[in-house]
Amino acid sequence: MIQTTEIIETLSFFDCWEDRYRYMIELGKELPAMDNDLKTQDKLVPGCQSRVWIDWKNINGLLHFEVDSDALIVKGLLALVMAAYQDKSANDIIEFDIQNYFEQLDLIKHLSPTRGNGLQAMIGKIQGAARQMLD
């Protein structure tokens, strides 16, 4: 799995956002396929313009996610998020400064308001899973 630092470094090499979007889409294409049986209503993320599914399980104290979307750019956003959260402890997920990560990527101002809201909804679902694991 690609790391956040590698993504930050790679995106900094691109001069225009069109190239950054292409890179993000390529990252999304590299996400493992989500089993269609997992794409159920309870795994859909409310508040997303596109359909986004997030499933998680606890594997030896680490949260492992399976994710998918019906939109390529959103899969790219999911790849950015998974770089931060995949196979981390619940505490690591809650303590990770995701907004600072997005600032380093210069991401939020380049998303439409609805995409930005959807991204925050994805983060909320993942952080909710982490809080649930701690309970």
Residues assigned a catalytic role: 48
The DSSP result for 72-126, as a single string, is HHHHHHHHHHHHHHTTB-HHHHHHS-HHHHHHHHT-GGGS-HHHHHHHHHHHHHH
Which one, of 24, 132, 129, lies nearest residue 78 by Cα? Answer: 24
